[in-house]
Structure 1
Amino acid sequence: MTSLLAPRPAAQIWSVKKNEEAAAKKRPKMTAAQLRVQKDLTELELPNTMTTHFPDPSDVLNFNLTITPDEGIYKGGVFHFTFAINLNYPHEPPKVRCTQKIYHPNLDLEGNVCLNILREDWKPVLNLSSVMIGLQYLFLEPNPDDPLNKEAAEDLRRNREEFIQNVKTSMRGGSVRGETFDKVLK
């Protein structure tokens, strides 16, 4: 009878070590960015107005966010964003784009987002939750003082009621100033 505590032959130990090394090589190494994103995602507590979707569950660096504002001018809309996080995260902010053409002072017609923490105010202590909450805030309080869509910003500054009508028209898939927008209403 062999004791569990009996010394193993050196060949057997070497074989176990080789098997462990082979298994470790098969497992993809996590980059610092992937580890940080994983941490950000596990700490994420989204309100019911936001959901994330991972087209490729094994790729945490590229995912989608859906925002459905339940108050404010954009209430009733469903807005989709893509997040692309590079390997320098958190030292560089994620790249965020809106996938729909919408009428908003802080989103241009190509889906680029004007949010200070995605540019000059980014700091590595910020996380994905900060960005997501910032995006939601843009739908509650559009900022005409830092616009990407200058016409929408000018409309908001000049005549808030007309701006609200333009938002409603655009969310139905209508045209504003000759530009047709995507229908985003639920």
Structure 2
Amino acid sequence: MIGLFKVKEKQREESKNTNTRGSSVKKQSAGELRLHKDITELNLPKSCAISFPNGKSDLMNFEVTIKPDEGYYKGGKFVFTFQVSPLYPHEAPKVKCRSKVYHPNIDLEGSVCLNILREDWKPVLNINTVIYGLFHLFTEPNYEDPLNHDAAAVLRDNPKLFESNVKRAMSGGHIGDTSFPRCM
């Protein structure tokens, strides 16, 4: 116990000394500390990469790029933005797909239907789990819990047509009235 009090006293003293010099030290929230730990322990598949467009000083906002190496979406490149709340891990990160994609579980506005980002989120989950969940959406799209109902119906009823639609969309074509930018 005595050691803990000495550490706390030393921290208070250091804080006081830095404040008297005019510099301000930003105190990290519990969410930032946990996120930092999660990011340092990432074990991503080789087809996934993380980047920090605002620099490493803004860990709470980052991007993940997924380049599937198998399945319908093989050869595509899909970018997701992550916004992490200071309440993390008690609150799931907000994830959006920046790449317009023909997918049953991602709508045309970039919303993602992944159960661990909604009702199944638990504080024991982490960023690595979310990235693997997103990666799994590209290797095993799920027509049973869709955001894009048209794509889900095509996947369910005619997987060959679905595969053709995915290839057309990824190469910058049209599906119905919707045009997709090239993402290969």
Aligned-partner residue type, residue 66 of structure 1: T
- Equivalenced residue count is 171
SS in 1 for 2:17: helix
Aligned-partner residue type, residue 128 of structure 1: I
Give 2:6's aligned residue: none
Q: Does 1:68 align with 2:43?
A: no
Give 1:34's aligned residue: 32
Give 1:52's aligned residue: 50
What displacement does 1:22 show? 3.6
Unpaired segments of 5 or more residues in structure 2? 1-12
The CA RMSD over aligned residues, in Å, is: 1.8
Aligned-partner residue type, residue 81 of structure 1: F
Question: C-alpha distance in 2, partners of 1:62/1:146?
Answer: 27
Give 2:4's aligned residue: none
Per-residue deviation, residues 87-131 of structure 1 (Å, max 9, x unmatched): 111111000000021100000000000000000000000000000
Unpaired segments of 5 or more residues in structure 1? 1-14
Equivalent runs, 1:78-93 vs 2, <5 Å: 78-93=77-92
The 3 A distance-change label for structure 1 pair 39 and 148 is: same
Per-residue deviation, residues 2-34 of structure 1 (Å, max 9, x unmatched): xxxxxxxxxxxxx99853554696221000110
Give 1:10's aligned residue: none
Question: C-alpha distance in 2, partners of 1:150/1:117?
Answer: 20
Q: Does 1:181 align with 2:180?
A: yes
Aligned-partner residue type, residue 19 of structure 1: N
Aligned-partner residue type, residue 46 of structure 1: L
Question: C-alpha distance in 2, partners of 1:60/1:17?
Answer: 23
What displacement does 1:152 show? 0.1
Aligned-partner residue type, residue 119 of structure 1: R
The 3 A distance-change label for structure 1 pair 20 and 116 is: same
Aligned-partner residue type, residue 158 of structure 1: D
Equivalent runs, 1:68-147 vs 2, <5 Å: 68-147=67-146
Aligned-partner residue type, residue 28 of structure 1: K
Provide the TM-score with structure 1 as the length reference. 0.87
Q: Which has the larger radius of gyration?
A: 1
Aligned-partner residue type, residue 115 of structure 2: N
Question: C-alpha distance in 2, partners of 1:154/1:25?
Answer: 58
Question: C-alpha distance in 1, partners of 2:14/2:71?
Answer: 62
Provide the TM-score with structure 2 as the length reference. 0.88
The 3 A distance-change label for structure 1 pair 18 and 127 is: closer
Q: State which drifts further: 82-91 or 104-113.
A: 82-91
